């Protein structure tokens, strides 16, 4: 392990002592700070940060950013070029956005909904892009006024709180925003014809489900028998929470058309599939939609995987 150009082991953003740092690439240093999360910082910025007042006095903004990136499983890179950009963008954050970051942290610290959480403002203040403990305290009061948390009397800089139902539900949305949903809703007909039924079943179990799981997605259904027969409230909820929908029109079940329509209305991307033998008698104009025509589960997955990997909105979790 080499010594960073600052000559000390302290976090360059919050002065906390950090155990782990290493040279990750050419003249770039990797830090893992209990307050600021994981980040990389260029050697030039590391050497000169104290002489750059615009950056140095706004280190709390950079901490908030590196923490937010860590929460999204990304490693922020701070350099003399990127740091001013980040500061100028994040300085404009509204109180609501800052408070939601704090709510996210409370959710992270809660063992379950309504569990008591203790937050030390000295440690947590960068979460809300706060300059210090006073601003953090205001955000806590804001969350309590909004009904997202119940706040007990604080002792010094330590806050005792718990999430309300509203707060918990709001935090769940934030978790989804940060991580991006990994759920994929599968809409398939269950053809009455036995041969066709076996084909669709094989396509689901041998092609789609295994393939999606290997890419890090969570398919809504593993068995054809579990695919919903009605577009009920539960199905609509799952469509809304999905990253995308796979609609297989083999057998032309009205349910598949309804599910695809519902997804389009919600702005959720849809990948259209149909067995080659059924690629007629459409209820929509297939020329307007790209549709994968398949014959075997293997060929279906090969084409589907290609579409998923090549389409920005569908990309697997963690893929840049």
Q: How far is the CB of 171 from Zn ion (least distance, A)?
A: 24
Please check whether residue 162 is in contact with residue 115, taking contact to mean a CB–CB distance below 8 angstroms.
Answer: yes
> Which of 13, 103, 245, 273: binder of Zn ion (CB under 5 A)?
13
Q: By C-beta, is 16 or 298 nearer to Zn ion? A: 16
Q: Is 203 in the site for Zn ion (CB under 5 A)?
A: no
Supply φ then ψ for residue 78, to 5 degrees. Answer: -105, 125
Q: By C-beta, is 33 or 86 nearer to Zn ion? A: 33
Find, among 172, 188, 211, the residue nearest to 316 by Cα: 211
Q: Is 59 in the site for Zn ion (CB under 5 A)?
A: no
Contacts of 58 (CB under 8 A, 6+ apart): 87, 91
Q: Is 172 in the site for Zn ion (CB under 5 A)?
A: no
Q: Considering only 5-13, 71-79, 172-180, 278-286, which stretch makes contact with Zn ion by CB under 5 A?
A: 5-13
Task: Please state, as a whole number, how many other Cβ atoms lie within 10 Å of the Cβ of residue 233.
Answer: 8
Q: How far is the CB of 181 from Zn ion (least distance, A)?
A: 30
Task: Tell me, by CB under 5 A, how many residues bind Zn ion.
Answer: 7
Q: How far is the CB of 251 from Zn ion (least distance, A)?
A: 57
Q: Considering only 9-17, 143-151, 188-196, 262-270, which stretch makes contact with Zn ion by CB under 5 A?
A: 9-17
Supply φ then ψ for residue 209, to 5 degrees. Answer: -60, -50
Query: From the CA atom positions of the chain, what is the Rg in Å?
Result: 25
How far apart are the C-alpha atoms of 139 and 14, rounded to whole Å? Answer: 20
Beta strand pairing call for 76-78 and 149-151? unpaired
Q: Is 67 in the site for Zn ion (CB under 5 A)?
A: no
Q: How far is the CB of 275 from Zn ion (least distance, A)?
A: 56
Q: How far is the CB of 12 from Zn ion (least distance, A)?
A: 8
Q: Is 49 in the site for Zn ion (CB under 5 A)?
A: no
Q: Is 16 in the site for Zn ion (CB under 5 A)?
A: yes
Contacts of 160 (CB under 8 A, 6+ apart): 116, 117, 118, 151, 152, 153, 154
Q: Is 61 in the site for Zn ion (CB under 5 A)?
A: no
- Torsion 140-170-114-126 (CA) sign: negative
CB contact burial 270-303 (16+ within 10 A = b; e otherwise): bbbbbbeebeeeeeeeeeeeebbbbeebeebbeb
Q: Is 11 in the site for Zn ion (CB under 5 A)?
A: yes
Q: How far is the CB of 13 from Zn ion (least distance, A)?
A: 5
Q: Is 36 in the site for Zn ion (CB under 5 A)?
A: yes
How far apart are the C-alpha atoms of 114 and 312, rounded to whole Å? Answer: 37
Q: By C-beta, is 133 or 202 nearer to Zn ion? A: 133
Q: By C-beta, is 38 or 176 nearer to Zn ion? A: 38
228, 234, 237, 238 alpha-carbon torsion, rounded to 10°: -40
Q: Considering only 34-42, 68-76, 92-100, 246-254, which stretch makes contact with Zn ion by CB under 5 A?
A: 34-42
Q: Considering only 25-33, 155-163, 193-201, 217-225, which stretch makes contact with Zn ion by CB under 5 A?
A: 25-33
Q: Is 33 in the site for Zn ion (CB under 5 A)?
A: yes
Q: Is 130 in the site for Zn ion (CB under 5 A)?
A: no
How far apart are the C-alpha atoms of 132 and 127, rounded to whole Å? Answer: 10
Instruction: Point out which residues bind Zn ion (CB under 5 A).
Output: 11, 13-14, 16, 33, 35-36
């Amino acid at each position: 392990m080499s010594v960073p150009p600052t000559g000390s082991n302290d976090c360059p953003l919050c002065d906390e002592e950090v155990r782990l740092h290493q040279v990750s690439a050419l003249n770039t240093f990797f830090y893992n700070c209990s307050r600021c999360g994981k980040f990389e910082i260029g050697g030039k910025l590391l050497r000169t940060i104290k002489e750059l007042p615009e950056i140095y006095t706004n280190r709390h903004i950079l901490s908030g950013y590196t923490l937010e990136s860590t929460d999204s499983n990304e490693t922020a890179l701070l350099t003399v070029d990127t740091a001013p950009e980040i500061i100028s963008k994040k300085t404009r954050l509204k109180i609501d956005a800052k408070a939601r970051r704090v709510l996210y942290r409370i959710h992270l610290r809660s063992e379950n909904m309504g569990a008591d959480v203790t937050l030390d403002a000295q440690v947590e203040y960068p979460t809300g892009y706060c300059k210090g403990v006073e601003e953090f305290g205001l955000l806590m009061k804001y969350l309590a006024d909004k009904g997202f948390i119940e706040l007990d009397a604080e002792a010094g800089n330590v806050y005792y709180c718990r999430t309300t139902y509203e707060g918990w539900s709001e935090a769940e949305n934030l978790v989804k925003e940060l991580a991006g949903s990994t759920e994929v809703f599968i809409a398939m007909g269950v053809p009455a014809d036995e041969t066709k039924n076996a084909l669709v079943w094989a396509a689901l179990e041998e092609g789609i489900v295994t393939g999606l799981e290997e890419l890090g997605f969570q398919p809504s259904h593993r068995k054809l028998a579990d695919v919903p027969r009605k577009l009920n409230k539960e199905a609509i909820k799952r469509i809304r929470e999905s990253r995308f929908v796979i609609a297989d029109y083999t057998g032309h079940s009205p349910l598949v058309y309804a599910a695809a329509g519902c997804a389009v209305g919600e702005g959720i991307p849809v990948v259209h599939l149909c067995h080659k033998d059924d690629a007629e008698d459409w209820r929509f104009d297939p020329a307007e939609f790209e549709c994968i025509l398949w014959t075997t589960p293997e060929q279906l997955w090969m084409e589907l995987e290609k579409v998923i990997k090549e389409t920005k909105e569908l990309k697997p979790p963690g893929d840049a």
